[in-house]
Amino acid sequence: MAHASSAFDRNRGGNLRSVSPLPARQDDDGLPWLQVRNGELPPMMFQLRFRDGRIMSFAYSDIREIQSRDAGQITLGIFAMSRVLVTIRGRHLRDLMTLLGTGRIRWLEEDDTRDVGRPETLPLILSIEIEAFPPAG
């Protein structure tokens, strides 16, 4: 025990090593969402970014259901203070569904309709719709 106390005595005085922050992100992959990188803490919330500038955030803990009809539509059932249904429409969204199900998305955004040069092979979010979920009973 004497060794432990001497270690504290030697290191008193603010010589604590800080953990270096992760390097700045380079989001040049062209995806309409931001995925959590390995080593980052999972987010508590995710953002929906609309083309008109609005941003809405929802807690991952409030997602009760994720459905996918095909690779072009994802539906989230969110039960929080209010119950809403979020429908995401686009193309190549299978990876997004998996990432949402594992809590690895920080934000996702609607495509700018003026961007006509986007390759067909890249995922695209055409629209995000939020509607009140029908009341139970």
Q: Give this prediction's pTM.
A: 0.75
Give how far Cα 70 sits from Cα of 17, 74, 75, 89, 123, Å: 49, 8, 11, 10, 13
User: Is residue 101 situated within a structural domain?
Assistant: yes
User: Residue 136 corresponds to which amino acid?
Assistant: A
For residue 4, the 8-state DSSP code is H
pLDDT one-digit tens code per residue, 24-80: 444 557 899 999 999 999 999 999 999 999 999 999 999 999 999 899 999 999 998
pLDDT surpassing 70 at residue 11: no
User: Is residue 47 situated within a structural domain?
Assistant: no
Tell me how many domains the chain contains. 1
User: Is residue 46 situated within a structural domain?
Assistant: no
User: Is residue 121 situated within a structural domain?
Assistant: no
**Residue ranges making up the domain that contains 64:** 53-113
Run of H or E residues at 59: strand 55-59
pLDDT surpassing 90 at residue 100: yes
Q: Hey, which residues does 84 pair with through a beta bridge?
A: 78, 132
- Both tokens assigned to 30: 């062209």
User: Is residue 22 situated within a structural domain?
Assistant: no
User: Is residue 124 situated within a structural domain?
Assistant: no
User: Is residue 17 situated within a structural domain?
Assistant: no
Residues 47 and 87: their CA atoms lie apart, in Å, by 14
The pLDDT mean for the chain works out to 83
